[in-house]
Structure 1
Amino acid sequence: MSILFFFILIPPILYFQFYFRRIILCFYPHPNIFIRLFSWIFALLFVLPAYNLFRFWAVVVYHLFAFALICDLVMWILHQRKVHNILLNKIYHLGVIPLLCLAILLGYAYYHMQDVQTVHYTVTTSKSLSKDYTIAFISDLHFPTTMNQKKLQKYCQDISKEKPDLVLLGGDIVDERTSYQEMKQTFETLSMIESQYGIYYVYGNHDQALYVEKPAFTPEMLKQTIEDCHIHILCDEVVSIHDDIVLIGRDDRSHQRLPLETIIEDISHDKFLLLMDHQPVDLEKNNQLVIDLQVSGHTHGGQIFPVGILSQWLGFGEMNYGYRQLSSMQVIVSSGIAGWGYPLRTGSQSEYVMIHIQSHH
């Protein structure tokens, strides 16, 4: 805990006591022990709530930290080149530029989260299909972090207009902050999406609200609500779709679940095997088991920049976002229709996915 505290909080605390002192001295240019003490206290009060990296205040603190450091670097370069401007120097000491950059970023992040895109993928297969299929895939709604019921209804209507054969809900549709009534409204709204072969759902790591001591609903209440809405829960189960597609729904990896080879041991590989797993894991293993297509969410595509890029560079997780072709299996990872924790997105876009499966047999 102390090591984590040091690396996360100590650098910004050290920096912001200089930052706040510099601002104070613009108004009271007489440095003394009281200004120094006040700067330390203010820096501590400002930074300490950012210890939880998954809360809004952490976004504020660490982005302001980054913008201020960049501003310092620019001013240092100008100083080295002997570029002096009294007005620019005054603005710099007032700390205005990092604050303005932060305000612009937060405005953009809020707008970007609300701007839900429709992403289309075409998946081809050598297996024989009686028709082409259109599949809608929605994941990581985390209702109501970023939208109300009216907005969700609009997206459901838009998806219905695409005339999907199948609707897949890829987990984390609700989470620990969702009330019981909001949970019911969410699945009732999603159940209104029109499709030919129904709506299927798999659990994410947040849906059952297991990360809090007193959740607003139990796993049993969640399950009953989903079933009452005529949404089919697949928990390490398979279902045949029109005798063409075998849909395999995994329980989330955060729970105890069956090995995939056990789930599919009696399944004919002549059918198109479509695997829905909330987290994009076991990709190479699933590829060896000759799954045709895996669809996942969970990563949010890196909700806050540069998390997504760092995840890929440092190898955190097997796949962060997009489409990948393996030797036997194709993979689609969605960034999700919303986000978790706060209604801000500076990384990849908010989206729902339309997948078009075509046979070239």
Structure 2
Amino acid sequence: MIWILMFLGAFIAAIAGIIFLVSCTTKFSFIKNKIVAFLVIALLFCFFYFTMEWINALTIVIYVTLFFLVSEGIGKIIQKKWSCKTKFYWQGWLALICSVLYLGTGYYLCVTVAEKDYKLSSDKDIGSLRVAMIADSHLSTTFDGDGFAKHLKTIESQNPDILLIAGDFVDDGSKNIDLEKACEALGKTNFKYGVWYVYGNHDEGYFNHRDFTAQDLENNLLKNGVNILSDESTLIDNRFYVVGRLDKGVSPDRKTIDTLISGLDTSKYIIVMDHEPADYDAEAAANVDLVVSGHTHGGQMIPIRHIGVLVGANDATYGYERSDNTDFIVTSGISDWALKFKTGTRSEYVIIDLLFDQMD
């Protein structure tokens, strides 16, 4: 419901934005006619619609409108305070330059992938363990199956012991060829403790129009040696547990964290994969050691980064925090869904170094 309201609000804002942009565009010396202004805006919208999909075209309109509103406001303040007028429409050029810089930077931060490092310690005798974690690859969005394989090689070069995939491996727009190539790449990896996976809210698909099924996804993962955890736990090397939770949004009747860890040897380190960062209180109360999540895309774009927390959809949006004896990490994701812009965050993969901190 939250997303429906956000999309509806964005659509209304875009319509209002186009009307406002038409009036602004006529202030340029080379465009004086509203019909011509509307046609220019419509053509640009269609260009981005067909090259970047409707959600990105909508986003561009909204943010360009915001920059025109700000620059127009600055212009009115300057005019009122200093009574200076100019025939040169500098407000429009300022808005266009800011739009290009902001959205261009947002596109770059979305389609390029950085490494994010964390160093954690524990009084549990885990020795040393290097964990790689990714989430929200949403295959076929910012990279295809071959692109995923390249990112996987980069991650492998960091010599992690294990790879955790915290959901949304695919999306409704993902292609079967990319799924197969990405899974084959996972099958060729050589992590000491393998690859472990939990489902996200997009993995099973919402609209059933992609060229593979949820069962095809599962079959491809299993065929290539990926371990799927669906409300399950496993003890690895008699050193640590990996617990995989079903997605809260897709499976509201999933097992509680207390039920999942019941019977586990709590003297051993417990890592929980939970796609949505939305059960912090229960997970901290259960005294698990580390919870890794994705889903939020790091807040996506300024100024919407904290909306998920404010409306209660998420307990956190990005980064690290500690509650009681539990460490929580939320990644911004290695890719994105249909939207190809990130600001205030960027696409990433995560490397977590866990060390045994022997108490004196």
| TM-score for both structures, normalised by structure 1 | 0.86
Percent of aligned positions with the same letter in both sequences?
A: 27
Q: Is the 8 A contact 1:18 1:39 kept in 2?
A: no
Could you report, residue by residue, the CA deviation over 1:256-297 in whole angstroms, capped at 9, with x for unpaired residues? 322222222121111111101111121111111111110111
> Residue 60 of structure 1 corresponds to which residue in structure 2?
60
Question: Number of residue pairs matched?
Answer: 350
* Aligned counterparts of 2:241 and 2:30: Cα–Cα separation in 1: 72
* Aligned counterparts of 1:228 and 1:178: Cα–Cα separation in 2: 19
* Aligned counterparts of 1:11 and 1:136: Cα–Cα separation in 2: 40
1:116 lines up with 2:113 in the alignment: yes
Q: Is the 8 A contact 2:22 2:34 kept in 1?
A: no
Q: How does 1:31-180 map to 2 (within 5 A)?
A: 55-87=55-87, 89-92=88-91, 95-129=92-126, 131-180=127-176
| Gap change, CA 1:3 and 1:293, over 3 Å in 2 | closer
Bigger CA drift: 55-64 or 253-262? 253-262
Report SS of the residue matched to 1:307.
coil
Report SS of the residue matched to 1:55.
helix
Q: How does 1:225-264 map to 2 (within 5 A)?
A: 225-256=220-251, 257-264=254-261
* Aligned counterparts of 1:254 and 1:19: Cα–Cα separation in 2: 38
Report SS of the residue matched to 1:86.
coil
Task: Name structure 1 gaps, 5 residues minimum.
Answer: none
* Aligned counterparts of 1:39 and 1:195: Cα–Cα separation in 2: 57
Which letter does structure 2 place at the counterpart of 1:125?
S
Which letter does structure 1 place at the counterpart of 2:203?
D
* Aligned counterparts of 1:297 and 1:5: Cα–Cα separation in 2: 21
Report SS of the residue matched to 1:185.
helix
* Aligned counterparts of 1:8 and 1:220: Cα–Cα separation in 2: 34
Question: Which residue among 339, 342, 361 is the counterpart of 2:339?
Answer: 342
Q: Is the 8 A contact 1:139 1:172 kept in 2?
A: yes
> Residue 294 of structure 2 corresponds to which residue in structure 1?
297
Which letter does structure 1 place at the counterpart of 2:230?
C
Query: Offset of 1:188 from its aligned partner?
Result: 1.4
Q: Is the 8 A contact 1:20 1:42 kept in 2?
A: no
Bigger CA drift: 3-12 or 38-47? 38-47
Q: Which of the pair has more CA radius of gyration?
A: 1
Could you report, residue by residue, the CA deviation over 1:116-144 in whole angstroms, capped at 9, with x for unpaired residues? 11111111111122x21111101111112
Query: Offset of 1:308 from its aligned partner?
Result: 1.2
Report SS of the residue matched to 1:189.
helix
Report SS of the residue matched to 2:299.
coil
Report SS of the residue matched to 2:138.
coil
Bigger CA drift: 307-316 or 297-306? 307-316
1:186 lines up with 2:182 in the alignment: yes
Query: Offset of 1:298 from its aligned partner?
Result: 0.7
Query: Offset of 1:339 from its aligned partner?
Result: 1.0
* Aligned counterparts of 1:328 and 1:54: Cα–Cα separation in 2: 44
Query: Offset of 1:153 from its aligned partner?
Result: 2.4
1:219 lines up with 2:221 in the alignment: no
Could you report, residue by residue, the CA deviation over 1:318-342 in whole angstroms, capped at 9, with x for unpaired residues? 0111111111211111111111113
> Residue 324 of structure 1 corresponds to which residue in structure 2?
321
Could you report, residue by residue, the CA deviation over 1:171-200 in whole angstroms, capped at 9, with x for unpaired residues? 111111111121111111233332111111
Report SS of the residue matched to 1:254.
coil
Q: Is the 8 A contact 2:21 2:65 kept in 1?
A: no
Query: Offset of 1:29 from its aligned partner?
Result: 9.7
Which letter does structure 2 place at the counterpart of 1:86?
T
> Residue 23 of structure 1 corresponds to which residue in structure 2?
25
Query: Offset of 1:349 from its aligned partner?
Result: 1.6
Q: Is the 8 A contact 2:136 2:333 kept in 1?
A: yes
* Aligned counterparts of 1:75 and 1:170: Cα–Cα separation in 2: 47
| Gap change, CA 1:73 and 1:27, over 3 Å in 2 | closer
Query: Offset of 1:104 from its aligned partner?
Result: 2.3
Q: Is the 8 A contact 2:180 2:220 kept in 1?
A: yes
Bigger CA drift: 57-66 or 259-268? 259-268
Query: Offset of 1:56 from its aligned partner?
Result: 0.6
Report SS of the residue matched to 1:301.
helix
Q: Is the 8 A contact 1:171 1:205 kept in 2?
A: yes
Report SS of the residue matched to 2:78.
helix
* Aligned counterparts of 1:19 and 1:255: Cα–Cα separation in 2: 40
Could you report, residue by residue, the CA deviation over 1:142-181 in whole angstroms, capped at 9, with x for unpaired residues? 1121123443223212221222111111111111111112
